[in-house]
Amino acid sequence: MNNQAKATDTVQPGMGTRVVWEGEQVEHPYNATQTPIIASAAYGYQDIDAWYDIALGKQPGFIYSRMSNPTVAVLEDKLCALEHAESAVAFSTGMAAISGVLHTFLCQGKRVVSTRDSYGGTNKIFEEFLPRQGVEVTLCDTLDTEEIEREIARGCDVVYLETPSNPTLKILDIRRLVDAAKRVGALVIADNTFATPLNQNPLLLGVDVVVHSATKFLSGHGDALGGVACGAETLMAQVRHYREINGASLDPFSAYLIIRGVKTLALRLRQQQASAQALAEYLCSEPLVESVNYPGLPQHPGHAIARAQMRGFGAIVSFVLVGGMDTVVKLLPKLRYAHRAGNLGAVETIYGPARTTSHVENTLEERQALGISEGLVRVSVGIEDTADLLADLRQAFAAVHAQRLQGQGSDTCGRHAEVST
Ligand SMILES: *Cc1c(COP(=O)(O)O)cnc(C)c1O
């Protein structure tokens, strides 16, 4: 009996349990069961020696909330545990985390290798900000693994990966690129926003630093901005120092909202990715859809790699509409259960074209160079019932078909053509 009890003690709890309980073993004032929002800029000490020890990091404690805050620390501990990291550093936004990590490890004379498919803001750091600081940036064709390996082998300091990519859902072979990076001693950073720690743990595949936009699935409710970086303590100490000085710290109210959101991540994602699979399959049969991107589709070029390195395919689907922006402006207003907005990962379903969402910072020419079509629509599938989301999409497409037939009718014979279903 004793042995049995021991055996169950060592069983790793499931992710549904871990998102709730990780990082929560902290005693709160008044025995509160929930992490309070500690809205204090600074922390006061009667004992000046103790204050000094805490400032020097010789004793645990808090000095000033740009450096650390008790509410933010709970979130950092939770995400650190979920990513199997030693340490985590929270930022005011996902972009602050990405920018902070890149600037911690890159400076004049260094070289970074990444891919053309990445979040638009990240692409801007690579194209606009790093080069003017004297960093050499090489962006490779995301689907050409051999090209990426060749560029890494030429020598570099950082390899930056985003998989699945926003909004094209391309999949990178993390283990293979980590091997290439290790051969030249490069640090590997991975943006895990689309997968979430539930579906993918890049650190377990050899990546050094994981970054997230906590604004998305981690928060889950579209009401807070945040970001986080996770990795070994030696690396995170440098990232924390960068954040302390440059100042993009997370505020405790947002940290509270994100902690609350993470607790339901497993429940939300289970429903969201079941619907995403159903929507992706339906979209494949829709004549107005030119192509569908979802790693859960067997014909997706990254399907086998996704199966090997992910536990689920996520809740983002993107598709290209026949007729480009013209069809986009007809289809999107007809959807009932949809925000048309530049966010993702929330409980509500959200539709948006790349030109007003992931790549709003880029010009038309830049989007064309990146292979982002004007007819590309991204769907962040919410927690609504699958049947309702499918029916909504079907009725919206049916209405566009009807409109197109009417348009054709009046073009050719000057009167409305009869519309058949
Ligand atoms: C949204 C997003 C970001 C940027 O995060 P913010 O919180 O908006 O700054 C970075 N990477 C990916 C993959 C994203 O989707």
Decide: helix, strand or coil at residue 173: coil
Cα gap 416→167, rounded to integer Å: 38
Q: For residue 62, which of 252, 213, 230, 228 has the smallest C-alpha distance?
A: 252
Grade residue 8 by pLDDT with cuts at 50, 70 and 90: low
Cα gap 167→373, rounded to integer Å: 11
Name residue, tokens 């290798």: 113
Name residue, tokens 């100490």: 237
* pLDDT of amino acid 9: 60
Distance 358 CA to ligand 1 centre (A): 8
Residue 350: is its pLDDT beyond 50?
A: yes
* pLDDT of amino acid 412: 43
Cα gap 409→421, rounded to integer Å: 15
* pLDDT of amino acid 102: 98
Per residue in 367-392, pLDDT (tens digit) is 888 788 889 999 999 999 999 999 99
- Choose the weakest-confidence range: 6-10, 311-315, 409-413: 409-413
The mean pLDDT of 319-340, rounded to a whole number, is 96
> How confident is the prediction for the chain on average, in pLDDT?
93
Per residue in 141-171, pLDDT (tens digit) is 999 999 999 999 999 999 999 999 999 999 9
Distances (CA, A) of 128 to 134, 275, 280, 362: 11, 38, 35, 11
The mean pLDDT of 174-185, rounded to a whole number, is 98
- Choose the weakest-confidence range: 132-136, 196-200, 319-323, 405-409: 405-409
Check if the beta carbon of residue 137 is closer than 8 Å to that of residue 126. Answer: yes
Grade residue 99 by pLDDT with cuts at 50, 70 and 90: very high
Minimum-distance ligand 1 atom for the alpha carbon of 162:
13
Minimum-distance ligand 1 atom for the alpha carbon of 225:
7
Minimum-distance ligand 1 atom for the alpha carbon of 97:
9
Per residue in 218-246, pLDDT (tens digit) is 999 999 999 999 999 999 999 999 999 99
Q: Which residue has the higher pLDDT, 372 or 409?
A: 372
Residue 110: is its pLDDT beyond 80?
A: yes
Q: What phi and psi values does residue 262 have, to the nearest 5 degrees?
A: -60, -30
DSSP state of 11: S
Catalytic residue positions, numbered: 66, 119, 191, 216
Grade residue 277 by pLDDT with cuts at 50, 70 and 90: very high
CA angle 215, 220, 222 (to 5 degrees): 60
Per residue in 51-93, pLDDT (tens digit) is 999 999 899 999 999 999 999 999 999 999 999 999 999 999 9
The mean pLDDT of 260-268, rounded to a whole number, is 98
Residue 411: is its pLDDT beyond 70?
A: no
The mean pLDDT of 288-316, rounded to a whole number, is 98
Tell me how long the chain is: 421
Distance 311 CA to ligand 1 centre (A): 21
Grade residue 355 by pLDDT with cuts at 50, 70 and 90: confident
Instruction: Give the count of beta carbons closer than 10 Å to the beta carbon of residue 28.
Output: 14
* pLDDT of amino acid 417: 38
- Choose the weakest-confidence range: 94-98, 373-377, 406-410: 406-410
One-letter amino acid for residue 301 of the chain: P
Cα gap 63→65, rounded to integer Å: 7
The mean pLDDT of 104-112, rounded to a whole number, is 98
* pLDDT of amino acid 11: 80
* pLDDT of amino acid 141: 96
Q: For residue 376, which of 251, 295, 289 has the smallest C-alpha distance?
A: 289
Q: For residue 250, which of 219, 227, 218 has the smallest C-alpha distance?
A: 227
Check if the beta carbon of residue 351 is closer than 8 Å to that of residue 408. Answer: no
Distance 286 CA to ligand 1 centre (A): 30
Query: Which residue from 92, 102, 119 has its CB within 8 A of the most atoms of ligand 1, so it is best to mutate?
Result: 119
Nearest CA to ligand 1 atom 12: 119
Distance 129 CA to ligand 1 centre (A): 17
Name residue, tokens 């079941």: 274
Which residues lie with the beta carbon below 6 Å from any ligand 1 atom?
A: 93-95, 98, 119, 121, 162, 166, 191, 193-194, 213, 215-216, 225, 227
Cα gap 261→229, rounded to integer Å: 18
The token duo for 190 is 């991975």
For residues 391, 393, 394 and 399, what is the CA-based torsion angle, rounded to 10 degrees? 120
Name residue, tokens 């501990």: 77
Nearest CA to ligand 1 atom 11: 119
Percent over 70 (pLDDT), the chain: 95
Cα gap 131→222, rounded to integer Å: 33
User: For residue 69, how many C-alpha atoms fall within 13 Å in the half-sphere facing its CB?
Assistant: 25
Query: Interhelix angle for 174-183 vs 145-153, to 10°?
Result: 20
Per residue in 33-47, pLDDT (tens digit) is 999 999 999 999 999
Single pTM value for the model = 0.93
* pLDDT of amino acid 5: 46
Residue 7: is its pLDDT beyond 60?
A: no
For residues 208, 213, 218 and 224, what is the CA-based torsion angle, rounded to 10 degrees? 150
Going along the chain from its start, the domains and CATH numbers come out as 10-262 (3.40.640.10), 270-419 (3.90.1150.10)
Cα gap 90→153, rounded to integer Å: 32
* pLDDT of amino acid 259: 98
Residue 408: is its pLDDT beyond 60?
A: yes
* pLDDT of amino acid 1: 36
DSSP string, 54-76: HHTTSS---SBTTT--HHHHHHH
Check if the beta carbon of residue 335 is closer than 8 Å to that of residue 389. Answer: no
The token duo for 196 is 């979430």
Check if the beta carbon of residue 285 is closer than 8 Å to that of residue 104. Answer: no
Minimum-distance ligand 1 atom for the alpha carbon of 165:
13
Decide: helix, strand or coil at residue 77: helix
Cα gap 163→174, rounded to integer Å: 8
Percent over 90 (pLDDT), the chain: 87
Query: Which residue from 125, 126, 166 has its CB within 8 A of the most atoms of ligand 1, so it is best to mutate?
Result: 166
